[in-house]
């Protein structure tokens, strides 16, 4: 949606400040951990995207964050400001004596975010102090940091729950922050349990009574983190906190990769970011966190602009907006079309275009391809995750397939002599390459490994590039579990070479046959994309 369309709907365009807390709040998520080097790399990428404020961590809490802030002094940021996080002073100390506040000052940052209690229940039960002392803690802590030359953002922890319990006291904590010199007060839905209409109404009221910029920090425990963030902005919040990919404690934080495109593309607000870099950033952070990317993650997931139904694809070939709410390139993503038994002619035409192959509607080649896909999927094949096998099938249907070799015969022998002995597996393969007949034998850790080695030996002399092709993943799935040991199995193989990665599939009631089909597709596809040409050579395995 353009800014003009947003304005036409009566929405006031705001400059929204983005505050990323992936490196602190995000790392509180289960299984999420970054090294100091990772954190420094993410800071650079967030800066390149155009994030305004990057929360690096809590300098007084652990040695890793202390090292991070020391090394971060050498990073030259072009846009972002690095921020340190901490809490208000302890109720038993003066602000000048509080070690956590001192650590923030010594971290070298110019901006700090400190949190304090807004909920009277938390003041009494968690801090175990008086409501009056809590107000002094907020005001004095902020005043101390401001006196040291820092800009301070005050995170009002549990603000919405506190407001619902005692709105007068919750608002008084914000007034204390204002008296202390806070630049912004950020309202936190710390437990993540509020509904969007509550966020809107409370944020709107705060905007009327507090003469400071207001921010929002939402958690996703109710699945509403992003929605609550957008409603706060609609109510006048101009400072937004979140994490890349929604990392965070429990159900996570509001996801910046969803917040940013919604603010910019749907609501027309100015966030100052290069949103075309979102998809790359999302996957980069997943990679550093050793997290498998969620393919269905809105805006940046691999599947969110992927189309399977034939009717959908047919309409999209004419007008992409019929089934896409935005152009995927706006967020750095791309459109994908899948082929399956649900596919129509549009899917096949679109996929053929991806491979620079022209398929005419109503052509014999298109009819042949559609029929082949439907029959193979009925047998148990799936081409959604095996586009290498599909491209080979496509080229066979249109007459562009040129086999690299012809199988003459193969044999697999498994030799086991005692219960405790590991079996010995031997594979023998005979193939024809042009006018030559090659016969090789290999032993492997199992039948698939032995077949792979024997085939590589047979082809290696003629196609040396085969040594660059590596099998990177091998999966077996039973298609019809009720059939027991006679069930049909589907084998998926992932391979890689020279910067390319591809997947192939094979199906059979015989596991070795299913593996062979997937393996042959994998090798042939690798040879095809590497554009190899046969080389003349003589080996001892040649048969005449």
Q: How far is CA 398 from CA 300, 331, 337, 521, in A?
A: 34, 35, 19, 17
Q: Which of 110-119, 181-190, 414-423 is predicted least confidently?
A: 414-423
Asked which of 79-83, 305-309, 389-393, 481-485 is least confident by mean pLDDT, the reply is: 481-485
Asked which of 241, 257, 289 is the last residue of a domain, the reply is 289
Return the percentage of the chain with pLDDT > 90, whole number: 61
Which sign, positive or negative, has the C-alpha torsion 229, 230, 232, 233?
Answer: positive
- Domain check: are 323 and 437 in the same one? no
> What is the predicted pLDDT for the residue at 542?
47
How many Å apart are CA 335 and CA 325, to the nearest integer?
A: 12
For residues 273 and 46, give the distance between their C-alpha atoms in angstroms, rounded to a whole number.
10
Domain CATH number, residue 225: 3.20.20.70
For the ranges 39-48, 101-110, 232-241, 395-404, which has the lowest average pLDDT?
Answer: 395-404
Give residue 377's pLDDT.
79
Q: Which domain holds residue 337?
A: 306-379
pLDDT at 121: 92
d(CA 417, CA 289): 47
- Over residues 74-96, the mean pLDDT reads 93
3-state secondary structure of 325: coil
Residues 263 and 344 both lie in one domain: no
Decide if 40 contacts 71 (C-beta within 8 A): yes
How far apart CA 443 and CA 450 sit, in angstroms, is: 5
The arithmetic mean of pLDDT across residues 321-341, rounded, is 80
Taking 60 as the threshold, does the pLDDT of residue 5 lie above it?
Answer: no
Question: For residue 386, which of 490, 531, 479, 250 has the smallest C-alpha distance?
Answer: 490
CA atoms within 13 A on the CB side of 77: 22
Verify that 91 and 232 share a domain, yes or no: yes
* pLDDT value at 340 more than 60: no
Q: Are residues 231 and 314 in the same domain?
A: no
**Domain-embedded: residue 510:** yes
**Helices in 17-58 by DSSP H: which ranges?**
36-49
| Mean pLDDT, residues 323-339 taken together | 83
State the pLDDT at residue 532. 61
348 shares a domain with 244: no
21 and 68 belong to one structural domain: yes
Residues 149 and 107 in one domain: yes
Per-residue pLDDT averaged across 363-378, rounded?
Answer: 82
pLDDT at residue 1 above 70? no
Indicate the range of 202-211, 415-424, 434-443 predicted with least confidence: 415-424
Mean pLDDT of 246-262: 97
* Percent of the chain surpassing pLDDT 70: 91
Highest mean pLDDT among 5-9, 43-47, 378-382, 529-533: 43-47
Structural domain ending residue among the three candidates 237, 257, 289? 289
> Quick check: 536 pLDDT over 80?
no
pLDDT at residue 351 tops 80: no
The two beta strands, 470-478 and 336-337, are unpaired
Q: Does 163 fall in a domain?
A: yes
Could you tell me the pLDDT band of residue 349, with boundaries at 50, 70 and 90?
confident
The answer to whether position 476 is within a domain reads yes
Band (pLDDT 50/70/90 cuts) for residue 541 is: very low
**Is the pLDDT score of 6 beyond 70?**
no
Q: What is the mean pLDDT of residues 71-78?
A: 92
| Total domains in the fold of the chain | 3
DSSP 340: S
Residue 436 predicted with pLDDT over 50? yes
State whether 447 and 371 are in the same domain: no
pLDDT of residue 236 exceeding 90: yes
CATH number of residue 444's parent domain: 3.30.160.270
The conformational region for residue 316 under phi > 0 = left, psi -120 to 50 = alpha, else beta, is: alpha
Q: How confident is the model at residue 11 (pLDDT cuts 50, 70, 90)?
A: low
Provide the edge-to-edge strand list for the sheet that holds 406-415.
Answer: 406-415, 424-433, 436-444, 542-543
> What pLDDT does 42 receive?
96
Decide if 393 is inside a domain: no
pTM greater than 0.95 (yes/no): no
Q: 496-520: per-residue pLDDT in tens?
A: 988 888 999 999 989 899 999 999 9
How many CB atoms are located within 10 Å of the residue 521 CB?
A: 24
What crossing angle do the helices spanning 36-49 and 278-289 adopt, rounded to 10°? 170
- Among the listed ranges 10-24, 75-89, 134-148, 361-375, which one has the minimum average pLDDT value? 361-375
Highest mean pLDDT among 101-105, 368-372, 433-437: 101-105
Mean pLDDT value of segment 141-146: 97
Question: Please, what is the average pLDDT of the chain?
Answer: 88
pLDDT at 2: 42
359 and 259 belong to one structural domain: no
Per-residue confidence (pLDDT) for residue 90, from 0 to 100: 92
Q: Quick: pLDDT tens for 305-317.
A: 877 666 666 666 6
Do 262 and 324 belong to one domain? Answer: no
Residue 492 falls inside a structural domain = yes
**Is residue 406's pLDDT more than 80?**
yes
* Residue 1: strand pairing partners: none
């Amino acid at each position: 949606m353009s800014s003009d369309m947003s304005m036409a709907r009566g929405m006031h365009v705001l400059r929204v400040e983005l505050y990323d807390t992936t490196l602190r709040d995000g790392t509180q998520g289960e299984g999420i951990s970054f090294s100091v080097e990772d954190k420094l790399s993410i800071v650079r990428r967030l800066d390149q995207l155009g994030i305004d404020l990057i929360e690096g961590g809590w300098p007084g809490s652990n040695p890793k964050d202390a090292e991070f802030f020391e090394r971060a002094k050498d990073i030259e940021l072009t846009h972002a400001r690095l921020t340190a996080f901490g809490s208000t002073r302890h109720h038993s100390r003066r602000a000048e004596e509080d070690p956590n506040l001192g650590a923030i000052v010594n971290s070298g940052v110019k901006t700090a975010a400190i949190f304090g209690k807004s909920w009277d229940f938390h003041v009494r039960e968690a801090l175990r102090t008086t409501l009056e002392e809590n107000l002094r803690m907020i005001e004095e802590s902020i005043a101390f940091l401001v006196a040291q030359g820092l800009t301070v953002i005050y995170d009002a922890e549990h603000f919405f729950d506190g407001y619902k319990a005692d709105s007068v006291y919750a608002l008084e904590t914000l007034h204390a922050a204002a008296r202390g010199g806070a630049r912004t007060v950020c309202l936190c839905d710390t437990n993540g349990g509020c509904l969007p209409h509550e966020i809107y109404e409370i944020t709107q009221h705060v905007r009327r009574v507090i003469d400071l910029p207001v921010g929002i920090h939402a958690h996703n425990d109710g699945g509403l983190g992003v929605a609550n963030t957008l409603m706060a902005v609609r109510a006048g919040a101009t400072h937004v906190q979140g994490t890349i990919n929604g990392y965070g404690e429990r159900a996570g934080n509001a996801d910046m990769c969803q917040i940013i495109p919604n603010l910019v593309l749907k609501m027309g607000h100015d966030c100052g970011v290069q949103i075309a870099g979102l998809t790359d950033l999302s996957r980069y952070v997943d990679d550093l966190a050793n997290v498998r990317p969620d393919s269905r993650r809105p805006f940046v997931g691999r599947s969110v602009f992927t189309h399977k139904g034939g009717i959908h694809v047919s309409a999209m070939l004419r007008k992409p907006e019929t089934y896409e709410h935005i152009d995927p390139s706006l967020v750095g993503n791309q459109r994908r079309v899948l082929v399956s038994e649900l596919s129509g002619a549009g899917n096949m035409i679109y996929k053929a275009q991806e491979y620079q192959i022209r398929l005419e509607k109503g052509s014999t080649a298109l009819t042949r391809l559609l029929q082949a896909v439907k029959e193979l999927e009925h047998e148990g094949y799936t081409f959604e995750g095996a586009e290498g096998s599909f491209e080979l099938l496509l080229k066979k249907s249109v007459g562009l397939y040129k086999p690299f070799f012809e199988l003459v015969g193969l044999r697999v022998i498994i030799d086991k002599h005692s219960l405790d002995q590991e079996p010995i597996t031997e594979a023998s393969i005979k193939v024809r390459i042009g006018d030559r007949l090659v016969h090789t034998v290999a032993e492997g850790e199992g039948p698939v490994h032995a077949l792979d080695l024997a085939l590589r030996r047979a082809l290696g002399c003629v196609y040396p590039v085969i040594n660059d092709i590596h099998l990177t993943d091998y999966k077996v799935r039973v298609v019809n579990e009720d059939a027991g040991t006679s069930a049909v199995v589907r084998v998926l193989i992932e391979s890689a070479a020279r910067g390319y990665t591809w997947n192939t599939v094979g199906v059979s009631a015989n596991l070795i046959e299913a593996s062979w089909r997937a393996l042959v597709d994998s090798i042939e596809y690798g040879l095809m994309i590497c554009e190899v040409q046969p080389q003349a050579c003589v080996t001892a395995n040649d048969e005449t």
